[in-house]
Structure 1
Amino acid sequence: MNDEILALGKRFVDPRRTLNPSQAEKEEGIIPLTDSLPVIPQSYVTHSLKVEGLRGIVTAPAKLESTTHVFAYGVDLFYTRLAPSKTYDSLTDDFSYALLLITIVALVAAIYITWILSKKKELSEKWR
């Protein structure tokens, strides 16, 4: 090999692949069987780097569901985090924390006001 790591989608190694998939199989996302696997340059986990003398790859899940850790070792060491389905379970850099805080404060205030109004209503009903 070239001492690089290629991330290959599980659809490419699906044992149900056939030369001419039916319409139902196509709708399910099964791709046609070919004599070779596609090597897309953007799919290299190591990008343009090489892990010299690559001897092994270790993967482990992260605390985030969408992320996994990848560690490759040989003469060189390489580590990265992969998010094959994008990071759907983490906040973006431009997330509005101020708006979140304002929303929480408004909800707490609404709960408190509702609680006071319910106590007043209970008291007025008891005086009837």
Structure 2
Amino acid sequence: MGVSHTDKAITARQILFGLKRGALFGLPRRFFDPRRPLVLEESHREEGLIQYMPEIPIPPELFVSYNLSVEKINGIYSSPAALESTSLVFVTGIDIFFTRIQPSKMFDVLKEDFDHMFISIVLIGMFVAALVARRMSQIKQLKKSWR
């Protein structure tokens, strides 16, 4: 077993399990929250709680090692990466496996379709507006001083 680590510990943690069949499985920490209700209400959803289930589900997308296997896992090591949303995982056994995981998705990375041109134009417009407002304020103060 191991736990994912990030630089500032803002990202939700994942508990990493090395299974006997050689797979690496990452389960979000919220599956172990003792406050999980039997009946899920809206207030529980706002907190991010999930409904209690006696058996923990094993969805295929939570397998960190995908279709690869590491035989006889004897160590799972986690280290923070430069991005807060990313953690680096190194697994040792007969084989070795290295990957990066994003337990809370990539919340600190801009999407590929992000409109850089629009943001640049807005930023330049705000800068010009600040300069114009500053100059108008100086002129108003000068006129006021001459009265």
Q: Sort the TM-score into its range (normalised by shorter chain).
A: 0.7 to 0.9
Q: For residues 86-117 of structure 1, what are the alpha-carbon distances to aligned partners after superposition, in whole Å with 9 as ceiling and x for unaligned?
A: 11111111111111211111111111111111
Q: Which residue of 1 aligns with 2:51?
A: 31
Q: For residues 60-107 of structure 1, what are the alpha-carbon distances to aligned partners after superposition, in whole Å with 9 as ceiling and x for unaligned?
A: 223333221111122322222211221111111111111121111111
Structure 1 vs Structure 2 CA RMSD: 2.3
Larger Rg: 1
Q: Which residue of 2 aligns with 1:58?
A: 77
Aligned sequence identity (%):
35
- Rounded Cα–Cα distance in structure 1 between residues aligned with 2:125 and 2:52: 54
Greater strand proportion: 2
- Rounded Cα–Cα distance in structure 1 between residues aligned with 2:142 and 2:35: 69
Task: State whether residues 11 and 31 of structure 1, in contact with CA within 8 Å, keep that contact through their aligned partners in structure 2.
Answer: no
Please list every run of 5 or more consecutive structure 1 residues that lacks an aligned counterpart in the other structure. none
Please list every run of 5 or more consecutive structure 2 residues that lacks an aligned counterpart in the other structure. 1-19
TM-score after normalising by structure 2: 0.72
| 1:1-128 superposed matches below 5 A | 1-15=20-34, 21=38, 27=44, 29-34=49-54, 36-128=55-147
Describe the SS at the equivalent of 2:76.
strand
TM-score after normalising by structure 1: 0.81
| Residue identity opposite 1:106 in structure 2 | G
- Rounded Cα–Cα distance in structure 2 between residues aligned with 1:121 and 1:109: 18
Q: Aligned-pair distance for 1:33? A: 4.4
| Residue identity opposite 1:31 in structure 2 | Q
